């Protein structure tokens, strides 16, 4: 998995909607090089936001071929404790973002996202965001 990147929902949405932007180029490269990684919660978010059965089919096919990671009981505990510590500092990212960030950290993956909540999380963790 060295060099692999967990691709967040926001980046997938940009990839699917806009073919001539930096995110599309990055994701296409990760897909080509077999470095794109997904997880169940990101798949859920994409399916929930789908606009047609065709989109759902594409998403499901995509997640059948890319590498996937899954949380374990410790992942949830650590994500919850991270959320607790961030709340004490006045920061309140959503639980899905906390889970995604924790999975990226524990799997030593960089995270490609357009969501600014992850920049907040990065300040207090070892989360490695893809800069573009």
Q: What is the pLDDT of residue 1?
A: 66
All domains in the chain, ordered by first residue: 5-129 (3.40.50.1010)
Taking residues 119-130, what's their average pLDDT? 96
Whether 1 contacts 67, CB under 8 Å: yes
Mean pLDDT of the chain: 95
Q: What share of the chain is helix, strand, coil (3-state, %, to 5)?
A: 60, 10, 30
Q: How far is CA 9 from the centre of its chain?
A: 6
CA–CA separation, 56 and 70 (whole Å): 20
Q: pTM of the entire structure?
A: 0.94
């Amino acid at each position: 998995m060295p060099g692999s990147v967990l691709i967040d929902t926001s980046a997938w949405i940009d990839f699917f909607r806009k073919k001539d932007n930096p995110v599309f180029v990055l994701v296409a490269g990760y897909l080509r090089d077999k470095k794109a990684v997904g997880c169940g919660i990101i798949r859920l978010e994409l399916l929930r936001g789908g606009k047609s059965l065709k989109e759902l089919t594409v998403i499901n096919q995509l997640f059948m071929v890319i590498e996937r990671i899954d949380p374990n009981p410790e992942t949830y505990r650590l994500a919850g404790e991270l959320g607790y510590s961030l709340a004490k500092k006045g920061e309140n990212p959503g639980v899905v973002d906390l889970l995604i960030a924790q999975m990226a950290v524990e799997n030593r993956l960089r995270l490609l996202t357009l969501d600014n909540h992850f920049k907040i999380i990065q300040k207090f963790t070892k989360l490695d965001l893809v800069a573009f």
